[in-house]
Amino acid sequence: MAKETFEFQAETKQLLDLMVHSIYTNHEIFLRELISNASDAIDKLHYESLTNRDILEGDTAFEIHLTPDAHTLTISDNGLGMNKEDLVQNLGTIAKSGTKAFLEKLKEAQDSDSTDKDLIGQFGVGFYSAFMVADTVTVVTRKAGEKQAYKWESSGDGTYSLEECEKPKHGTTIILHLGKDFYGDKSEENYTDQMTISGLVKKYSDYIRYPITMDYVTKEKPKDADGKTIEDAPEEEKVETRTLNSMQPLWTRNKSDIKPEEYKDFFKHQFYEWEDPMEIFHTKAEGAVEYTALLFIPGSAPFNLYYTDYEAGLQLYSRHVFIMDKCKDLLPDYLRFVKGLVDSPDLSLNISRELLQQSRELKLIGRNLEKNILKTLARTLEKDRAKYEKFWAEYGKSLKIGVYSGMMTGENNVDKLKDLLLFMSSKDGKLCTLKEYVGRMKDGQQKIYFATGKDRAAIDAMPQMELLRDRDLEVLYMLDPVDEFAVQAIGEYDGKKFHSISQGDLDLDDDEYKEEKKKAEDLAKSNEDLLKDIKEVIGDKVADVRLSNRLKSGAVCLVADAAGPSIAMEQAFAAANNPMLKARRILEINPNHDLFGRLQTLHAAGKDSQDFKDYCKLLYDQALLLEGILPDDPAAFANKVAQMMAK
Ligand SMILES: Nc1ncnc2c1ncn2[C@@H]1O[C@H](COP(=O)(O)OP(=O)(O)OP(=O)(O)O)[C@@H](O)[C@H]1O
């Protein structure tokens, strides 16, 4: 095959451009990225070799070797290597959907001068970081089990070349032809200096499970047959290969010997994070199943946590040997934000990943970990409210989704999670637990009142809120569409039912309310015709028109029938392109409002008059607006209001 030239994919080009022009100042992490890729490639080969020993070609001493030279730094591994298709696929395109977001973030970071954040690692564009320090990158690689080797080369401009070549050993060798600022004694960042390189390995790659080696040339006088130095002989050069990393996986060490900084560093390097974790769990268990787990709750939720491209899951190891990344079957989906790893001698390396994921041991470990995490969260909620609220701000949504999605999957997440939920309260504008709400309920109060809306102000302005405020009844604000789903899944807490103030009968428990309700019912009877005729004018848009006893100073409001979704839920479904679930809307009119008297007069003058009809339609549109929904025909609404104002 003659040398071929290929164009990089547009996004790769953009990324390379950013790398070449070094907008990212923390150049040194390129080494960590390349070592990490080499280690991944060895992991892959090792995994393959468990079922196909021949693939190793007799080379069982896994190693990542670093060779600095005058102007180059070479990183070699004896991992899986790449064939032609792999090269084009992996080093010519960026298949990851996160890359676009990465580019945006990188620009943002550049604008805000916060380039210290480890964005490159976070978004996994590792290989291309080589172009921060190298003018040209050459990759010589041969896939284990295949004969043909290839040379890939690029100068970080728009193209790369590919040609066939010879490579006796399988694996990948990456030669960085360093830029002039990155070699030589005069350089501040000399990546050919052995001290610098070994320092970087210690700093970033100490945990890598395979030896990272470098040859050191030492000069020594020769020794005689008795092992004594021959003093007058000239010095001889000796090459000594040293391993630069300690290779001991952090999680295998004793908890008491590990410093918080070591955990944090490990977390960042292993999981490509740039922020300290907010919680660390390090547990060792023996008994029915033996395992060590090192789990983390990241400092903040990733931007795509709730999108389908987010890949949840823990890393799996067996006796410190990597089995797989992103194993989803350990933790329930509502803990999708937890990162970490599990190392267990009880997990068999020799069965397929599919079978492994269904294994009894894995399920047992998963259940234990889930319990552990929930226990820690409950303890944090009790002992360190500020910390818990920070957790809640990042991951609360995930737990709320867990509460109701459990209904679909048949898991009872409600009991597990209901005491970990927080809702904003009308009492003090602060977050409260359901236990706290119930604990401070007024004497005789039977229900947990909640209201749905887009923000606090919208709920506070709801006409129904006035009655509850007057009675000093606490209302929980449901500001996120998932809140209401969660509440529906819970149903009741401590024997107290949830009750939406914007749905069904307000149904307050005090005598005053009951008396007013009775009055309203009598009034409704005597105005039966009026209500029927209003309904007739508005038509099918509402299921019913009633007199309200939930309104104090407001004239109208729209409520949903108790059976069925609320109006907020209907809107959430509509926003998610699922207009199937419709609330049964009920228009409620305040009989104590002057407007009601006017309606009665207009109706008495003739139910077919244009004025009566206009009033009815405007009433409905107003009620819609109060729910934050636009009238069906905003122009007609505005025209009618204008006409009335002009009268
Ligand atoms: N030394 C190597 N040996 C074999 N394949 C490699 C090597 N280096 C890179 N690759 C291949 O190139 C791909 C792209 O590497 P890159 O560092 O850009 O991203 P990544 O390693 O997949 O992501 P992340 O950095 O998040 O781990 C890798 O997924 C791997 O398939």
Atom number, ligand 1, closest to the C-alpha of residue 124: 26
Q: Are residues 463 and 526 in the same domain?
A: no
218 domain-assigned: yes
DSSP character string of 530-559: HHHHHHHHHGGG-SEEEE-SS-SS-SEEEE
Examine residue 84 and state whether it is found in any structural domain, yes or no.
yes
Q: Which of 211, 243, 275 lies at the terminal end of a domain, its last residue?
A: 243
Q: What is the DSSP letter of 158?
A: S
* Nearest alpha carbon, ligand 1 atom 23: 124
* pLDDT score at 597: 92
Q: Please give the backbone phi and psi of residue 285, each rounded to the nearest 5 degrees, phi first.
A: -130, 145
The alpha carbon of 90 and the centre of ligand 1 are apart by a number of angstroms equal to 7
Q: Is 506 part of any domain? A: no
What DSSP designation does 454 have?
S
Quote the ligand 1 centre to 395 CA distance (angstroms).
30
Same domain (yes/no): 175, 235? yes
Residues paired with residue 218 on neighbouring β-strands, in sequence order: 238
pLDDT for position 1: 75
User: At residue 622, does pLDDT exceed 70?
Assistant: yes
> Where in the sequence is the domain holding 524, given as residue range(s)?
511-563+579-646
Sign, CA torsion 266/272/274/275: negative
Provide the pLDDT for residue 115.
46
For residues 274 and 190, state if they share a domain: no
Residue 367, H or E segment: helix 360-383
Cβ atoms of 214 and 194 closer than 8 Å: yes
**From CA 589, how far away is CA 327, in angstroms rounded?**
56
Which ligand 1 atom sits closest to the C-alpha of 128?
18
Whichever domain contains 478, its CATH number is 3.40.50.11260
Nearest CA to ligand 1 atom 13: 90
Going by alpha carbons, the residue nearest to atom 21 of ligand 1 is 37
- Element spanning 641, H or E: helix 634-646
Q: How far apart are CA 29 and CA 448, in angstroms?
A: 53
Residues in the chain: 647
Q: Whose CA is nearest to atom 11 of ligand 1?
A: 90
Edge-to-edge strand list for the sheet holding 585-589: 544-547, 585-589, 556-560
> Could you tell me if 107 and 76 lie in one domain?
yes
Confidence category of residue 319, pLDDT binned at 50, 70, 90: confident
Do 95 and 170 share a domain, yes or no? yes
- Nearest ligand 1 atom, CA 81: 4
327, 498, 486: which is closest to 405 by C-alpha? 486
Whether 343 maps to a domain, the answer reads yes
Q: What is the mean pLDDT of residues 26-30?
A: 84
The mean-pLDDT minimum among 74-83, 140-149, 311-320 falls in 311-320
Percentage of the chain lying above the pLDDT 90 cut: 49
Q: Are residues 336 and 465 in the same domain?
A: no
CA of 507 to the centre of ligand 1 (A): 62
Based on the fold, state whether residues 87 and 173 are members of the same structural domain: yes
Q: What is the 3-state secondary structure (H, E, C) of 309-375?
A: CCCCCEEEEECCEEEEEEECCCCCHHHCCCEEEEECCCCCCCCCHHHHHCCHHHHHHHHHHHHHHHH
The residues with which 242 forms a beta bridge, in sequence order, are: 214
What's the CA gap between 252 and 341, in Å, rounded?
12
Report the C-alpha gap between 640 and 244 in whole angstroms.
Answer: 81
Ligand 1 center–CA 127 separation, angstroms: 6
pLDDT of amino acid 93: 76
The string of pLDDT tens digits covering residues 280-295 is 999 999 988 999 999 9
Q: Please give the distance, rounded to the nearest whole angstrom, from the Cα atom of residue 472 to the centre of ligand 1.
A: 61
Q: Whose CA is nearest to atom 8 of ligand 1?
A: 37
The total of other beta-carbon atoms located within 10 Å of residue 157's CB is 11
Residue 46 scores a pLDDT above 80: yes
| Closest Cα to atom 30 of ligand 1 | 90
Residue 137 Cα to ligand 1 midpoint, Å, equals 14
3-state secondary structure of 491: coil
375: its two tokens: 């226990």
Which of the pair, 586 or 120, is modelled with greater confidence? 586
Atom 14 of ligand 1, residue of closest alpha carbon: 90
* All residues at 6 or more sequence positions from 279 whose CB lies less than 8 Å from its CB, including other chains: 296, 297, 376, 380, 391
First to last CA, the chain: 88
Residues 13 and 102 both lie in one domain = yes
CATH, residue 144: 3.30.565.10
Looking at the structure, tell me whether residues 169 and 239 fall in a common domain.
yes
Residues whose CB is less than 8 angstroms from the CB of residue 345 and which lie 6 or more positions away in sequence, other chains included: 290, 318, 319
Q: Is residue 401 part of a domain?
A: no
Q: Counting atoms of ligand 1 from 1, which one is nearest the CA of 77?
A: 1
Q: Check residues 589 and 567 and name the one with the higher pLDDT.
A: 589
Tell me if 416 is assigned to some domain.
no
pLDDT per residue over 360-397, tens digit each? 888 999 999 999 999 999 999 999 999 999 999 999 99
**Spatial distance between the Cα atoms of 123 and 604, rounded to a whole number of angstroms:** 70
Q: Rounded distance, CA 436 to CA 532, Å? A: 44
> With contact defined as beta carbons under 8 Å apart, do 602 and 615 qualify?
yes
Q: Is residue 469 part of a domain?
A: yes
Q: Tell the residue nearest (CA) to atom 31 of ligand 1.
A: 90
Query: Which atom of ligand 1 lies nearest, measured to the CA of 174?
Result: 1
CATH number of the domain where residue 518 is located: 1.20.120.790
Distance 47 CA to ligand 1 centre (A): 16
Residues 417-455: pLDDT tens digits? 999 999 999 998 999 999 999 999 988 888 999 998 878
Of the ranges 57-61, 134-138, 560-564, which one carries the lowest mean pLDDT score? 560-564
Tens-digit pLDDT profile for residues 235-271: 888 899 999 998 888 999 999 999 998 899 889 878 8
Distance CA 112, CA 216 (A): 42
pLDDT digits (tens, 9 = 90+) for 178-199: 999 999 999 999 999 999 999 9
**End-of-domain residue from the set 348, 374, 392:** 392
d(CA 628, CA 577): 18
Measuring from each residue's beta carbon to the nearest atom of ligand 1, which residues come in under 6 Å?
33, 37-38, 41, 77, 79-82, 90-91, 124-128, 172, 272
Residues 239 and 368 in one domain: no
Ligand 1 pocket test: pick from 12, 48, 90, 339 the residue with the most ligand atoms within 8 Å of its Cβ.
Answer: 90
Give strand pairing partners of 162: 4, 152
- Give 646: exposed, middle or buried? Use CB within 10 Å, 0-12, 13-18, 19+: exposed
Model confidence band, residue 117 (pLDDT cutoffs 50, 70, 90): very low
Q: Would you state the torsion angle of the CA atoms of residues 351, 355, 360, 363, taken in this order, to the nearest 10 degrees?
A: 120
Q: Which atom of ligand 1 is nearest to the CA of 38?
A: 1
Express each pLDDT in 458-498 by its tens digit: 888 877 788 888 888 999 999 888 898 899 899 999 999 99
User: Which residue reads 């006088």 in tokens?
Assistant: 221
> Could you please report the per-residue DSSP string of 214-263?
EEEEEEE--B-TTS-B-TTSPPEEEEEEEE-S----GGGS-GGG--HHHH
Tokens of 586: 């009920």
In a domain, 117, yes or no: yes
77 Cα–ligand 1 center, Å? 13
Mean pLDDT estimate for the chain: 87
Distance from the alpha carbon of residue 37 to the mean position of ligand 1, in angstroms? 5
CB 434 within 8 A of CB 424: no
**Residue type for position 318:** S
Beta-carbon-side half-sphere exposure of residue 376 (alpha carbons within 13 Å): 18
Flag whether the pTM goes above 0.80: no
Instruction: Kindly report the number of other CB atoms within 10 A of residue 288's CB atom.
Output: 11
Q: Which of 477, 500, 523 is the last residue of a domain?
A: 500
Determine the distance separating the centroid of ligand 1 and the alpha carbon of 355, expressed in angstroms: 27
Ligand 1 atom with least separation from CA of 37:
8
Q: Could you tell me the distance, in angstroms and rounded to a whole number, from the CA of residue 125 to the centre of ligand 1?
A: 8
Number of domains in the chain: 4
Mutate to test the pocket of ligand 1, among 48, 97, 127, 271 (most ligand atoms within 8 A of CB): 127
Q: Do residue 521 and residue 496 come from a single domain?
A: no
Cβ atoms within 10 Å of 346's Cβ, excluding its own: 16
Hey, whose CA ends up nearest to atom 24 of ligand 1?
124
Question: Does residue 43 sit in the same domain as residue 159?
Answer: yes
Q: Which of 45-49, 158-162, 389-393, 599-603 has the highest mean pLDDT?
A: 389-393
> Which of 37, 76, 146 maximizes ligand 1 atoms within 8 Å of its Cβ, making it the mutation to test the pocket?
37
Q: Is 524 left (phi over 0), alpha (psi -120 to 50) or beta?
A: alpha
